Chain A
């Protein structure tokens, strides 16, 4: 199985900051990479698919980039609603796998 590794595991930031989360794959997943946001007790919400395509209705301060084995999720001008846990997921080959998650906390 392809292993997905996110860094950092925890990120402390302030409202208005720009933050970047990295996701690395153990082998190439081309651009078959999605990012999700999850809040406590809630289902995940897709933000980005195909590495850089923004989900409809998701604010444009969220962006994704990368291909192959290295990907980034960038959030510009953090808003209070953005503090949550973020997961990457590869869907290049079965079994599809998620990263371990990055918890974005308020500094």
Chain B
């Protein structure tokens, strides 16, 4: 079965860092486009970042320079390193397979940025 499972969310102070993980099964991260999408409490979906199978990456302006998307092929896992976190980064973060539209989504991991 093709699936992705996120982990690593939690409570962090403003200015802090957190690394989210997305473990893939049923497919290989090295040959797929993978995307992070987030959803602030009570709000809509926001596209965050994508990594292409060839390694090219793109970011939303709201996270550019603070977040880094990467893959570990040996662990078949996608990551999102989040630095300089702000209160407005508080959200459920979803990992999804696909680089345009996304057909497989994880259950999400919750990040709360608060003092």
Contact = CB atoms under 8 A, between A and B. Distances in A.
Nearest to B99: A91
Given A43-B106, A44-B94, A96 B45 contact: no
Interface string B89-115: 000001000011111011110000000
B27 interface: no
B103 A101 contact: no
B14 to A, nearest CB: 24
A43 B45 contact: no
A96 B44 CA distance: 14
A72 interface: no
A83 interface: no
A20 B58 CA distance: 33
Contacts of B50: 94, 96
A63 interface: no
B45 A87 contact: yes
SS class of chain B's interface: helix, strand, loop or mixed?
A: loop
A97 interface: yes
A40 to B, nearest CB: 11
A62 interface: no
A38 B47 CA distance: 15
Nearest to B94: A43
B60 interface: yes
* Interface size range on A against B: 20 to 34
Interface string A88-107: 01010011111111000000
Contacts of B37: 44
Nearest to A34: B101
Contacts of A96: 47, 50, 100
A94 B44 CA distance: 18
Contact of A44 (B45, B59, B61, B100): B45
A1 interface: yes
B100 A99 contact: no
A43 B108 contact: yes
B45 A89 contact: yes
